[in-house]
Structure 1
Amino acid sequence: AYVIAVLVSGFIAMTVTPALSYMLLRKAPLDKRQSPILPLLHRGYSRALKPVMGRPAFAIGAFALLAFSGIGVYPQLGQELLPDFKERDFLMHWLGKPGTSHPEMVRISELACQELLTIDGVNNCGSHIGQALLMDEVYGIYFGENWISVDPSVDYDETLATVQATVDGYPGLVRDVQTYLKERIREVLTGSSHPIVIRIYGEDMDTLRRKAAEIEEALRAEDGLKEVHTELLVDIPQVDIKVDLDLAAAYGVKPGDVRRQAGYMLAGEEAGDIHTVNRTYDVNIWSLPENRDSLTDIYNLPIETPSGERVALQEIASIEIVPTANAVNRENLARRIHIDAELDGVALSTAVETVEEVLEGIEFPVGYYPELLGEFSEQQEASRNLLRISLLSGLLVLILLYVSYNSLRLAVLSFFALSAALVGGVLAAWGTGGVLSLGSLVGFLTVLGIAARNGIMLINHYQHLEDKEGMAFGPDLVLRGARERVAPILMTALTTGLALVPLAISGSIPGHEIEHPMAIVILGGLITSTLVNLFIVPPVYLLIGDRHKTAVAA
């Protein structure tokens, strides 16, 4: 959108603006008009600039100090891929222990909804439990989600705190409270709804569980993390039926017959379809609940033989209850287990540093290793891609500046002046929370374009005075050029800055989660880039901008 806006604005400036100027201003008087403010502005700016003109070393030192301050502050900034969206629709994951029954999950979900609806501002509550047929999320009946919507008229932070306290009042469950939008974005980008995900690879499930428990215990002792829990990969009781081939053969029963008949009776299976009125209905066979509610019922499960007689299942098979993993997850040809965590009042990058320190202090057997996933890994990948693209873009900008000025030194001067906008944005972000997010990135790109325009406009005007108006290179040329361009530079900065002030002072309110950090970065970049263009570029240009002297030296 930003690139399209720049291209369209350039096209309008070169086509529509000249045409409108001709239509609307062709009969306008040509006598020079000047705002009464400009003489005062020019005199004040000249007084401030003259002491700096003869001291280019001071200007260079001031720029170096500004640059080093930005370099020093940047490592202290936290980073996050997504801001905390203050959306009014909340989603709560609601996980019981594997093996929790459907009636119990329904009871807990209904009780939670009843309690949530008593909170002032909660308009509605809904939930789903388990999964529907052929759904994309493969979970057991122990998995549920609750949703609520909050009225816009109530205080957001206070209501969220009350909802969180209510949810925390249900022990024995893995639960969280997230906005629906952020949860969906995380799922799409990272495959998980949690910002911190540690994946351990290995082959033995017991070893994976032990190392996961060790990491979970260590993370719970650290500040900045909450709701630390290990993925629910546990042993659950399961009926294990092994057919005795000799006994089954004596009755003429095959193992496959036992499996099918036991499956029909205990779990239910599809036996066919009914087609009627352009609709298709599955036909499932399942025994009555009272015929399968105890181990004795399974012992006495009647298996039909080829002769039409029936034999009890225990007569042809061994039946026992054994511990079995509720799920086995694999990734990259290896078993894996996850440890998830939420942030507790810290930036994502700070939490990741804590997690990395914890992982460094834990020893893993041969063949077992951890991997840090989640939102941070996506942010790191995005940062690496952005760095590569930025280096290429910076090279292209330097080439364009060289083509515009026909001077490598002036191109380098203008290029380094652009960095002042980045430094200002970094300092502004550090002073207002110290976190860089998606909105901050948009702000950096925007302020770079404004800073580039002002710098190019100033240096090109110096060259115009020398080439077109015949002024000799020297302090008078630099002072005149700076004085004649101070109004356009300030007007560009002020009009952009004033438009962003409401976003900056309103804070991170609902709906402004991206615009607020963007406005902060742009305002900071505008301040520093404007000061650099007005007070540092002129004395440095006086030092290195004499093209005739450069040509003679060459």
Structure 2
Amino acid sequence: MVPFWIIFPEVRQLDLDDLRNVVMATVNNAPVYLRQIAEVSFSAKVKRGEAGYQGKPAVIVSVEKQPDVDTVKLTRQIEQALGEITQTLPDGIKADQILFRQANFIETSIANVERVLLEAIVVVAAVLFLFLLNVRTTAISLLAIPVSILTTAVVFHLFGLSINTMTLGGLAIAIGELVDDAVVDVENIFRRLGENRRAGNPKSVFQVVVEASNEVRSGIVYATMIIILVFVPLFALSGIEGRLFAPLGQAYIISILASLFTSITLTPVLASWLLPGLKNLEEHDSRFLKALKRGNAALLAVAFRHQRLLVGTIALAVLGAGIAAWQLPRAFLPPFNEGSFTVNMTFNPGISLAESNRVGLIAEQLLQQIPEVSAVGRRTGRAELDEHAEGVHASEIEVELKGGEGRPKEALVADIRQRLAVLPVSVNVGQPISHRLDHMLSGVRAEIALKIYGEDLDALRRIANSLRERFATIPGLTDLQVEKQVRIPQLEIRVDYTRAALYGVQPAAVVDQISRLSNGRVVSTVVDGVRRFDVLIRLPEDQRTTVGLGDLLLETPSGWVPARQVADIRETDGPNQILRENTRRRIVVQANTNGDSDMTTIVAAMRAAIAQEKLPPGFFTSLEGTFQAQEDATRTIAALSALSLALVFALLYSRYRSAALALIIMGNVPLALIGSVAALWLVGQPLSVASMIGFITLTGIAARNGILKISHYLNLALHEGVPFGKDLVVRGSLERLTPVLMTALSAGVALVPLLYDAASPGKEILHPVAVTIFGGLISATLLDTLLTPILFLRFGRRPLERLRSAPVQPASSAGAPAPIREAF
């Protein structure tokens, strides 16, 4: 056969006779038509894949959105367009069958977090009223919540920031703290107004309110500054964890700043209007508070008698908590509950599309039998222009779940694996978003990926299979498989350079001519209205063999010669694909965890198994996955947290001009560690980036308690002349017991809605944060009640004397009030 390279102009009709009658050459004054040397007919393109929906053939369309576009709004617009398209389609064809809708997860998550916000506001209001037993003081304090939330929304709108699950989560975590500044201010104003009335009203209401507000203003301002400082590590996180938690930090900080602004402006004004006329102003403490104060005074008396024992016991508890924290299981992020699964099935390469599709249909039917499954869709094979090109040996199944109650996610995953185990496939079960996160971290859609690098493909496969066998003995690993790089039948063309040179043809030209007719070449386009069809030239199936290609005539400067004269064409085998990373050949052993095992333990066992494998020279491995991101995030948070604590110390030292007082206040941070670790252990939560974010948040909250007490001790000594000693410490502790307990309880109970139903979408990533804060608040508040008074009594005399001897502010003019020291 003599090959012809034909370039047809664009054809605007579908009559094949026009193509058949194209004259190719003239031989002996007679035309040679295309129909004489080729068969011209319609034919479908070579299929690269199949798809199914609910066990029936389908076409699956994946829609990707642009960045910074509202997912929910765009989804609704697409659904509306699909509904309009469906009305124009023939009977039996629909375009509105939605298989995976990311907006479902977003809408459910936002709805859950919004409900958490409302529940948190209710329980905070109940706590405040329990302590204050006064509608006006409770209302003034609660007003900080809507004002702060609205201010946050306005700031987000002005700066073009979106409201999402994480921003709402930041507000949910901050709800209890939004009232803290207002509570401290209102409680102090209420107490001072009562003292003023009992004294016969020697001062005006305005003066009492201003002095009472100024008395605590410094403390709440510095406490807010500390909260902002400790959040610095959050914004330094890179990668996925940074993108996830940065919006949470933004919402948290903006709302806290709005709360501070409210407490120093709106709260005193409302207090001056609403509180002076109260009938029960002189009766400041309820019976409940009086009982608490009596109990606190008794505990302080015991603590003063056993100071060394108490401090030593707390120090041992902190040390034990640190050791326990190191032993906690590790995880990168809490598992999402997306309401759907992504199942990747892989055959051995070389399987036909028909067989792969047949087994894929069986898999669909098996998954449809699961009671919790509402829809199943499958894509077998992915074309070159797809975002994830795959051969026909790979299938991806989307499993949409029904809403409502059902088995937990772990049970469903186990059921899926069990049902698909009867098929001759490798299975990897995950979730759509989680799989994409895994792919972003390691380039592989699995939690753990061992990448083996080397040049010899056979050696790579041998090492990978050996390591897979070693990993199979590690408890907790599932979906263990080696990347499908295997040998498949191939036609090999080896050009003989010497013979090619005799005919004056370049080796590349030989290969190019053979591959054009073997693989086919598009030479023109047929146009039918708005549709276009390629015109393809290719050898018949029976000639695309070693014999047929060997007989193929090649054009050379010396004339037409059979391909076998310049090349050896033979059947052999070769790799189905060669994957590279950083210019090196590599193969991957991938696996997931079962969700119950410690990732750190699994990774340590895998590293030990890798160390036992003897690698040939030039081969090396890299173990990657979510654990690697967790390790990097832990190091980043640890380093920047140390810097934040140093800045906090500098801030406190600049305020109190005493290292001892600054360290006493910062002593609340390790006290919080005790409860946080205990809470994580009790609920079975691993140490993840989310729980570390919770401890960062807790650091600022815990420091507030110390600031309130130390500042009040100093104010009593400097402004009211109370001599240093136990009486000073006891009085200061009892007078600050109410605001300390109220702020701690408000922050704690506001987190209760996040503590239960942890698997709900939107709450799963906030649950570890809430657990960490809640547990830490309990230990920090209870232990601070005894430890801070003891430490101040032991180390506070010298700092107090230095502050007492510091110069006071002079009077501004004659007749002005007597000079006073700045309130702490």
The alignment's TM-score, normalised by the length of structure 2, stands at: 0.62
Aligned to 2:571: 321
Q: 1:199 to 1:19 in 2, by over 3 A?
A: same
Please report how far the alpha carbon of residue 26 of structure 1 lies from its aligned counterpart in structure 2 after TM superposition. 6.4
Query: Residue 338 of structure 2: which of 84, 87, 103 is its match?
Result: 87
1:205 aligned onto 2:457: yes
Q: Which moved more, 1:467-476 or 1:422-431?
A: 422-431
Aligned to 1:68: 319
CA–CA separation in structure 2 for the residues paired with 1:434 and 1:6:
27
SS in 2 for 1:82: coil
Contact kept, 8 Å, 1:438 with 1:514, in 2: the verdict is no
Q: Which moved more, 1:15-24 or 1:401-410?
A: 15-24
Please report how far the alpha carbon of residue 500 of structure 1 lies from its aligned counterpart in structure 2 after TM superposition. 2.2
Please report how far the alpha carbon of residue 237 of structure 1 lies from its aligned counterpart in structure 2 after TM superposition. 1.8
Amino acid at match of 1:196: I
1:169 aligned onto 2:408: no
Q: Deviations over 1:359-403 (max 9, x none)?
A: 222222332222211111111111121122111101001111212
Aligned to 2:789: 538
CA–CA separation in structure 2 for the residues paired with 1:335 and 1:550:
71
Please report how far the alpha carbon of residue 473 of structure 1 lies from its aligned counterpart in structure 2 after TM superposition. 0.5
Aligned to 2:360: 109
CA–CA separation in structure 1 for the residues paired with 2:540 and 2:397:
29
CA–CA separation in structure 1 for the residues paired with 2:456 and 2:515:
30
Please report how far the alpha carbon of residue 539 of structure 1 lies from its aligned counterpart in structure 2 after TM superposition. 1.1
Q: Deviations over 1:483-507 (max 9, x none)?
A: 1111211112222222223432434
Query: Residue 412 of structure 2: which of 159, 164, 175 is its match?
Result: 159
Please report how far the alpha carbon of residue 45 of structure 1 lies from its aligned counterpart in structure 2 after TM superposition. 1.4
1:100 aligned onto 2:351: yes
Query: Residue 587 of structure 2: which of 334, 337, 358 is its match?
Result: 337
Q: Highest Rg: 1 or 2?
A: 2
Contact kept, 8 Å, 1:423 with 1:528, in 2: the verdict is yes
Q: 1:270 to 1:468 in 2, by over 3 A?
A: farther
SS in 1 for 2:516: helix
Contact kept, 8 Å, 1:270 with 1:282, in 2: the verdict is no
Aligned to 2:27: none
Aligned to 2:757: 506
Please report how far the alpha carbon of residue 115 of structure 1 lies from its aligned counterpart in structure 2 after TM superposition. 2.0
Q: 1:389 to 1:145 in 2, by over 3 A?
A: same
Aligned to 1:463: 714
Query: Residue 259 of structure 1: which of 511, 515, 518 is its match?
Result: 511
| 1:25-424 superposed matches below 5 A | 25=275, 31-34=281-284, 35-153=286-404, 154-157=406-409, 158-171=411-424, 173-244=425-496, 255=507, 258-272=510-524, 281=532, 283=534, 285-287=536-538, 290-291=541-542, 295-300=546-551, 302-303=552-553, 305=555, 313-314=563-564, 316-344=566-594, 345-424=596-675
Contact kept, 8 Å, 1:490 with 1:530, in 2: the verdict is yes
SS in 2 for 1:80: coil
Aligned to 2:268: 18
Say how many residue pairs are matched. Answer: 550
SS in 1 for 2:400: strand
Q: 1:11 to 1:250 in 2, by over 3 A?
A: same
SS in 1 for 2:388: coil
Q: 1:282 to 1:441 in 2, by over 3 A?
A: farther
Contact kept, 8 Å, 1:273 with 1:283, in 2: the verdict is yes
SS in 2 for 1:53: helix
Please report how far the alpha carbon of residue 287 of structure 1 lies from its aligned counterpart in structure 2 after TM superposition. 3.1
CA–CA separation in structure 2 for the residues paired with 1:251 and 1:333:
37
Please report how far the alpha carbon of residue 462 of structure 1 lies from its aligned counterpart in structure 2 after TM superposition. 0.8
Amino acid at match of 1:12: T
Please report how far the alpha carbon of residue 240 of structure 1 lies from its aligned counterpart in structure 2 after TM superposition. 0.9
1:487 aligned onto 2:732: no
Q: 1:540 to 1:502 in 2, by over 3 A?
A: same
Contact kept, 8 Å, 1:229 with 1:339, in 2: the verdict is yes
Amino acid at match of 2:443: G
Please report how far the alpha carbon of residue 515 of structure 1 lies from its aligned counterpart in structure 2 after TM superposition. 2.4
Give structure 2 stretches of 5+ with no counterpart.
Answer: 1-249, 806-824
Q: Which moved more, 1:447-456 or 1:21-30?
A: 21-30
1:442 aligned onto 2:728: no
Q: Which moved more, 1:75-84 or 1:440-449?
A: 440-449
SS in 2 for 1:539: helix
CA–CA separation in structure 2 for the residues paired with 1:467 and 1:454:
20
Aligned to 2:170: none
SS in 1 for 2:392: coil
Q: 1:121 to 1:31 in 2, by over 3 A?
A: closer
Q: Deviations over 1:495-543 (max 9, x none)?
A: 2222223432434445432222222211210111011210111111111
Q: Deviations over 1:54-100 (max 9, x none)?
A: 33212211221111111221222111112222221110112111222
The alignment's TM-score, normalised by the length of structure 1, stands at: 0.91
Aligned to 1:478: 729
Please report how far the alpha carbon of residue 130 of structure 1 lies from its aligned counterpart in structure 2 after TM superposition. 2.3
Aligned to 2:100: none
Please report how far the alpha carbon of residue 293 of structure 1 lies from its aligned counterpart in structure 2 after TM superposition. 6.5
1:425 aligned onto 2:676: yes
Q: 1:355 to 1:22 in 2, by over 3 A?
A: same
Amino acid at match of 2:469: E
CA–CA separation in structure 2 for the residues paired with 1:348 and 1:284:
55
Please report how far the alpha carbon of residue 102 of structure 1 lies from its aligned counterpart in structure 2 after TM superposition. 1.6
Please report how far the alpha carbon of residue 22 of structure 1 lies from its aligned counterpart in structure 2 after TM superposition. 4.1
Please report how far the alpha carbon of residue 129 of structure 1 lies from its aligned counterpart in structure 2 after TM superposition. 2.4
Q: 1:160 to 1:364 in 2, by over 3 A?
A: closer
Q: Which moved more, 1:245-254 or 1:492-501?
A: 245-254
SS in 1 for 2:590: strand
Amino acid at match of 1:242: R
CA–CA separation in structure 1 for the residues paired with 2:526 and 2:269:
73
Amino acid at match of 2:382: Q
Please report how far the alpha carbon of residue 220 of structure 1 lies from its aligned counterpart in structure 2 after TM superposition. 0.7
SS in 1 for 2:574: strand
Contact kept, 8 Å, 2:543 with 2:549, in 1: the verdict is yes
Contact kept, 8 Å, 1:265 with 1:292, in 2: the verdict is no
CA–CA separation in structure 2 for the residues paired with 1:253 and 1:11:
83
Q: 1:401 to 1:259 in 2, by over 3 A?
A: same
Q: 1:320 to 1:214 in 2, by over 3 A?
A: same
Amino acid at match of 2:399: I
Aligned to 2:44: none
Contact kept, 8 Å, 1:49 with 1:535, in 2: the verdict is yes
CA–CA separation in structure 2 for the residues paired with 1:284 and 1:54:
98
Q: Which moved more, 1:487-496 or 1:15-24?
A: 15-24
Please report how far the alpha carbon of residue 247 of structure 1 lies from its aligned counterpart in structure 2 after TM superposition. 6.5
CA–CA separation in structure 1 for the residues paired with 2:548 and 2:493:
13
Query: Residue 518 of structure 1: which of 747, 753, 769 is its match?
Result: 769
Q: Which moved more, 1:17-26 or 1:160-169?
A: 17-26
SS in 1 for 2:751: helix
Please report how far the alpha carbon of residue 230 of structure 1 lies from its aligned counterpart in structure 2 after TM superposition. 1.8
Q: 1:255 to 1:211 in 2, by over 3 A?
A: closer
Q: 1:418 to 1:118 in 2, by over 3 A?
A: same
Q: Percent identity?
A: 33
Q: Deviations over 1:2-53 (max 9, x none)?
A: 2223222222222332344345446556942322322111112111221102
Contact kept, 8 Å, 1:190 with 1:378, in 2: the verdict is no
SS in 2 for 1:78: coil
Please report how far the alpha carbon of residue 317 of structure 1 lies from its aligned counterpart in structure 2 after TM superposition. 3.3
Give structure 1 stretches of 5+ with no counterpart.
Answer: none
